[in-house]
Amino acid sequence: MRIVIIGAGRAGTSLAGAFHQAGYDVTVCHHDELHTVPSADAIVLCVPDDAIETIAALLPRTDAVVMHVAGSRNLEVLNGHDRVASMHPLVALPNGDVGQRRLSGSVFAVAGHPLATELVVAIGGRPITLRDEDRVAYHAAACIAANHLVTLLHSVGTLANGIGMSLEDFLPLAQSALEDAASMGTLAALTGPASRGDLATIDAHLAALPDEARPLYVALANEALALGEAQRTRTRS
């Protein structure tokens, strides 16, 4: 099996390592080397989402299965090719080495040609299928679970640094909350002023926060208060 990966970023290098470890013949090409792409059984586009359609259109017609790895895109972005598929790994890929290790055991949203499922299984992934109309919501959930969580932790670190502490001091708290959400469910895991409906404490938080930190806190506090009310309602019933 010959696999060509277009794009040498985080996803491309992670998948290249995993495919190579699975015994496949893997070639990685940059997006500006499309004229030199060798013949292959699968061509995997690991390029930014907004570039997929353009790169696919520039790619010479081929007998290979042309795939992308974008979570929110359907197969229409690969129009012009006869055999198409997609395989989106539901896992954070911060770099090629870490990403390669994480791909085994991870969920992949697959669509199109069955070769995508075959490749996912070969590297130890767990393929799932989604309706086309659900892919954007699926990808939004993925971004909240990873990208937005990291953004939130960055905000924690900024506030911590301002009082002589560090993000590392708060990570055990964050990790325990994730563990509780996984084991108990989100309603039972919610703690703090939102779970009690303690508006005075929330107002005190807002008064203590710098201006630039308040919009994020307000947005999250509003959601947490709604979740806390649901928790209290369930407890009373």
Q: How far apart are CA 5 and CA 46, in angstroms?
A: 7
Cβ contact 189:177 at 8 Å: yes
CA distance 90 to 107: 5
Domain stops at, among 95, 130, 165? 130
**pLDDT (tens digit, 9 = 90+) per residue, 141-172?**
999 999 999 999 999 999 999 999 999 999 99
pLDDT in tens, 170-193: 999 999 999 999 999 999 999 999
Picking from 87, 106, 130, the residue at the C-terminal end of a domain is 130
Mean pLDDT over all residues of the chain? 95
> Do 81 and 159 lie in a common domain?
no
User: Residues 51, 120: one domain?
Assistant: yes
What distances in angstroms separate CA 45 from CA 15, 56, 191, 219, one per listed residue? 11, 8, 43, 36
Asked if 59 and 164 sit in the same domain, the reply is no
Domain that holds residue 112: 2-130
Q: Are residues 67 and 176 in the same domain?
A: no
Backbone angles phi, psi at 165, to 5 degrees: -115, -170
79 and 166 inside one domain: no
Identify the residue with better confidence: 23 or 196: 23
Q: What is the DSSP letter of 91?
A: S
Do 126 and 140 lie in one domain? The reply is no
pTM above 0.75, yes or no: yes
d(CA 220, CA 154): 15
Domain check: are 29 and 122 in the same one? yes
Picking from 130, 156, 179, the residue at the C-terminal end of a domain is 130
**Are 46 and 102 part of one and the same domain?**
yes
Question: CA-based diameter of the chain, in Å?
Answer: 67
Whether 100 and 170 map to the same domain: the answer is no
Domains: count for the chain? 2
- Same domain? For 160 and 89 the reply is no
pLDDT at 217: 95
> Domain check: are 111 and 175 in the same one?
no
112/139 same-domain check: no
The answer to whether residues 65 and 43 touch, using CB atoms and an 8 Å cutoff, is yes
Burial class (CB in 10 A: 0-12, 13-18, 19+), 7: buried
CATH number at residue 11: 3.40.50.720
Domain CATH code at residue 220? 1.10.1040.20
What are 35-85's pLDDT values in tens digits?
A: 888 999 999 999 999 999 999 999 988 999 999 999 999 999 999 899 999
Q: What is the pLDDT of residue 35?
A: 80
How high is the pLDDT of residue 73?
A: 97
Residue 96 has a pLDDT of: 95
